[in-house]
């Protein structure tokens, strides 16, 4: 390998490392930050038939997962994005039937995993058993 | 040898059709086999190698893989990203097709892993708006970093042996 080619590869690796470090710093700055203190939140569980059950949770948890676990409302498996919710209020999604739990906040789809959803006093969330992946 | 035409340009031998089918299934099998390891995958490596060997015909392998992914995991929002993500890597591999250095491909695959979350976020901007799309990108950064490192290491180390293996397979199948 000649000197020019070697320099090019070293520059490529260096650029990759720099971009990765910048992305990491960007994440540390922009990642969701939890709120300390007691909060009262409402969680509505909707089953496949549309039946709704409402829960009021008082919690010190900073993220939604902590609050839901404190209320013993959810169960699931750990995934690369955090907990993948499979069971809510004793209702387990049937994967074979393409069922999954959709998390929304006042009707708006939540883009973060349940581990990363920051909660604040007065927040309202819905956990809806949904059929179909489309 | 009998050739089958697709459109006016691309012609396949029966052997090639069989190879493309097997390699598409192999790509899917490799993805499933490593599904338990978060963001560690060899699909990027296979896309690069298949593109360098099969050129435009590699698109048939890629889209067979994408179809199998949809059938296995459901045609959700994530699947829309798959329709263009791997084709972007295909395009980059075509662009740098004269590169023969494993490290060079490792760098390209590393960048692809790093940008994977950002590139796949496009459908989420439509469904979740600007905030939803940005949230999707930010929450995925740790996984993109793992993806970057995994791609860099796997492609740098496996590019040369797998390329040699594929060349041997292709030589053997030419005699069929």
The tally of domains found in chain B comes to 1
Residues A19-27 have a mean pLDDT of 94
Average model confidence (pLDDT) across chain B: 89
For A68, residues 6+ apart whose C-beta sits below 8 A from its C-beta are A43, A57, A74, A114
Structure ipTM: 0.81
> According to the model, what pLDDT value does residue A15 have?
96
Residue A122 Cα to chain centre, angstroms: 19
In this complex, how many residue pairs, one in chain A and one in chain B, have their CB atoms less than 8 Å apart? 71
> According to the model, what pLDDT value does residue B2 have?
58
Report the residue of chain B nearest A30, measured CA to CA: B138
Residues A57-86 have a mean pLDDT of 88
pTM: 0.78
Question: Cβ distance B3 to B12 under 8 Å?
Answer: yes
The CA distance from A9 to the nearest CA of chain B, in Å, is 6
The residue behind tokens 């008082």 is A58
List of chain A residues whose C-beta atoms are within 8 Å of the C-beta of residue B110: 16, 20
Does residue B81 surpass a pLDDT of 60? yes
Q: Which of B131, B136, B154, B121 is nearest to B37 (CA)?
A: B154
Q: Which three-class secondary structure state does DSSP give residue A129?
A: strand
- What radius of gyration do chain A's Cα atoms show? 21
> According to the model, what pLDDT value does residue B76 have?
78
Residues A87-114 have a mean pLDDT of 87
Average model confidence (pLDDT) across chain A: 89
The whole domain housing B90 covers 13-174
The CA distance from B132 to the nearest CA of chain A, in Å, is 6
Contact between A134 and B74 using a beta-carbon 8 Å cutoff: yes
Contact between A16 and B110 using a beta-carbon 8 Å cutoff: yes
Does residue A134 surpass a pLDDT of 70? no
> According to the model, what pLDDT value does residue B159 have?
97
Q: Which residue has the higher pLDDT, A25 or A32?
A: A25
Q: How far apart are the C-alpha atoms of A119 and A104, rounded to whole Å? A: 12
Q: Which of A86, A52, A90 is nearest to A72 (CA)?
A: A90
Chain A: residues touching B (Cβ < 8 Å): 1, 5, 9, 12-13, 15-16, 19-20, 23-24, 26-27, 30-32, 79-81, 98, 108-109, 111-113, 116, 132-134
Residues B82-97 have a mean pLDDT of 96
The CA distance from B168 to the nearest CA of chain A, in Å, is 25
pLDDT in tens, B2-31: 566 665 567 778 888 888 999 999 999 999
Q: Which residue has the higher pLDDT, A56 or B123?
A: A56
Assigned domain for B3 exists: no
**Among residues 142-171 of chain B, which lie with CB inside 8 Å of chain A?**
142-145, 148-149, 152
Contact between B114 and A16 using a beta-carbon 8 Å cutoff: yes
pLDDT band at B104 (very low <50, low <70, confident <90, very high): very high
pLDDT in tens, B127-161: 777 877 888 888 889 889 999 999 999 999 999 99
Residues B93-117 have a mean pLDDT of 95
């Amino acid at each position: 390998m000649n000197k020019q080619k070697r320099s090019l590869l070293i520059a490529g690796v260096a650029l990759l490392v720099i971009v990765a470090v910048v992305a990491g710093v960007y994440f540390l700055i922009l990642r969701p930050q939890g709120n300390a203190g007691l909060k009262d939140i409402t969680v509505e569980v909707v089953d496949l038939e549309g039946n709704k059950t409402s829960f009021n949770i008082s919690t010190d948890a900073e993220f939604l997962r902590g609050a839901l676990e404190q209320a013993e409302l959810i169960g699931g498996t750990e995934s690369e994005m955090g907990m993948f919710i499979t069971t809510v209020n004793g209702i387990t999604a049937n994967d074979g039937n393409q069922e999954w739990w959709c998390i929304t906040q006042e009707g708006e789809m939540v883009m973060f995993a349940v581990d990363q959803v920051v909660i604040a006093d007065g927040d309202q969330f819905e956990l809806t058993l949904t059929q179909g992946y489309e | 040898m009998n050739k089958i035409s697709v459109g006016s340009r691309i012609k396949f031998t029966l052997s090639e059709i069989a190879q493309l089918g097997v390699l598409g299934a192999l790509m899917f099998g490799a993805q499933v086999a490593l599904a338990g390891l978060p963001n560690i995958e060899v699909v990027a490596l296979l896309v690069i190698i298949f593109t360098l060997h099969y050129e435009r015909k590699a698109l048939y392998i890629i889209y067979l893989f994408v179809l199998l992914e949809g059938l296995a995991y459901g045609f959700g929002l994530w699947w829309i990203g798959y329709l263009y993500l791997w084709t972007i890597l295909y395009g980059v591999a075509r662009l740098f097709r004269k590169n023969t250095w494993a490290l060079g491909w490792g760098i390209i695959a590393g960048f692809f892993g790093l940008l994977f979350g950002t590139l796949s976020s496009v459908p989420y901007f439509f469904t979740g708006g600007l905030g939803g799309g940005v949230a999707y990108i930010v929450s995925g950064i740790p996984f993109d970093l793992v993806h970057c490192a995994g791609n860099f290491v796997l492609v740098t180390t496996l590019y040369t042996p797998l390329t040699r293996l594929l060349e041997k397979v292709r030589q053997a199948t030419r005699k069929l």
